[in-house]
Amino acid sequence: MAFSPLCLNFFVSLLLITFSLARCVRRIEPGLQREADRVDRLPGQPPVNFKQYAGYVTVNESHGRALFYWFFEATHTPHRKPLLLWLNGGPGCSSIGYGEAEELGPFFPQNSSQPKLKLNPYSWNQAANLLFIESPVGVGFSYTNTSSDIKELGDMVTAEDSYNFLINWFQKFPQFKSHEFYIAGESYAGHYAPQLSELIFENNKKASKENYINFKGFMIGNAAIDDEADQTGMMDYAWDHAVISDRLYHNIKSKCNFSNEHPSRGCDVAISEYFQVYGIIDMYSLYTPTCTNERNTYSARRRPFIQGDVAPHFLSKFDGWHRRPAGYDPCASEYTAEYLNRPDVQQALHANVTKIPYPWTHCSEIIKDWNDSPVSILPTIKKLVAGGLRVWIYSGDTDGRVPVTSTRYALRKLGLPIIEDWTPWYTNQQVGGWRVLYDGLTFVTIRGAGHEVPTFAPKQSLQLITHYLANQKLPSAPF
């Protein structure tokens, strides 16, 4: 059938309109997706002047893998502030349950008969646009529709899924693509952060303009970065801080070779005795109280490997030691778990949309296997330092799990020249800790802080991240 010129012109015009509409839809789609994730007000939330978003980003369409995120714009001038991704460790622990709700996020759940959030006066979104993700799948609200994925998890999968998350998240939030991007984290994020950093660093070399990430560096605290140094330092610190006896210390020293992946039976017995002491005091913060809440059933069912890490060969042997502190209120994790398991909270956060058949927990109870975990991350750190990234490592000095002693042993292995040795830094009139400036890396201690530094030293930790992002040395004199 022949078209008349009038019909042909109409048909061509219709095609042009259709293509134009398609382009418009593509342009507005990120905005629509972003607004769908906008969190207006959470149950019990105080009023705030910054925007927040929460929801899911698919990281593997064929498997149905999606990571849950919670994002807070900076309190002031978010269009000029950098973007910071925070990661907690585990492996298998939630960056929202720890990082957001008990350490450095804007909102802390409170002990109350009604849902109640307290505004954190030292939230890190004063310094940056702040992004939290629950990674890998199986942690918190993050999920997969392919059940076999849970058995395939390890460092490599976690890094790849986190990278895919970032690429897709920036498509949803393109206004932040040009911002400087940094990663920070603690504990087993001593693996996560450098590994994700390396993936971004390498992929940026061949990335298209659309997928290029304006990545500048990473900062890790009380971080598991070298098995031998971490474990040796843990035992030395315990003895030096009067946690274990001379007899037990010398028994461990004589029977354990932490550079050996297959410890002897005698070493296993000695280590088991070592962990018994942490049934009565807090391993992650030696000098703060433990939770004595009569309702407290939380610690008995928690299963973090390392919001502290022994080593892969110890994981199955010691399932009772992994309690963690929760700051000045040692029962804060109880409040967080109660809050995030409320249906009205999950609805407000656009979370648990697939109706996950288990409750939200700080550390995953379905992740049983971890398939790859390098014994040392030091080669990766050294590579990224040489690549020009900004790298800071910090340590709260009352943590018994990945103590400052372990970090100092590990940094010694890096062999970097020291530019400025052990120098005090200040918070107002008081010494906040000490710092060492290596060639390409900064090491900072925080006085009186446990494993989760922002929980125990919130003012100093905000000072730390502010100076890190500005690439400024911490103050060398009282002010």
Question: Which active-site residues does the annotation give?
Answer: 187, 399, 451
- What backbone torsions phi and psi does residue 455 show, to the nearest 5 degrees? -70, -40
Beta strands in 208-359 (DSSP E): 215-221
CA distances to 45, 343, 444 from 137, rounded to whole Å, are: 28, 21, 32
Q: In sequence order, what are the beta bridge partners of 185?
A: 87, 220
Q: Helix %, strand %, coil % for the chain, to 5?
A: 40, 20, 45
Supply angle C-alpha 75, 446, 440, rounded to 5. Answer: 85
Helix (H, G, I), strand (E, B) or coil at 175: helix
Nearest Cα residue to 394 out of 332, 456, 331: 456
* Integer Cα distance of 197 and 458 in angstroms: 26
Number of H helices, E strands in the chain: 13, 13
Taking each helix axis from N to C end, the angle separating 227-240 and 246-255, rounded to the nearest 10 degrees, works out to: 160
Q: Please state the separation of Cα 294 from the chain's center in Å.
A: 30
Beta strands, E only, 78-214? 83-87, 107-109, 117-119, 129-134, 143-144, 181-186
Contact between 194 and 380 (Cβ < 8 Å): yes
Residue listed under structure tokens 């109880």: 334
Could you tell me if 33 and 172 are in contact, meaning their C-beta atoms sit under 8 angstroms apart? Answer: yes
| CB-count burial class (<10 Å; 0-12, 13-18, 19+) for 50 | middle
The label of the residue with tokens 């009380």 reads: 222
Q: Could you tell me if 430 and 436 are in contact, meaning their C-beta atoms sit under 8 angstroms apart?
A: no
Query: Distance (Å, rounded) from C-alpha 352 to C-alpha 347?
Result: 8
Question: What whole-number distance in Å separates Cα of residue 112 and Cα of residue 361?
Answer: 19
Q: Specify whether the CB–CB gap between 244 and 274 falls below 8 A.
A: yes
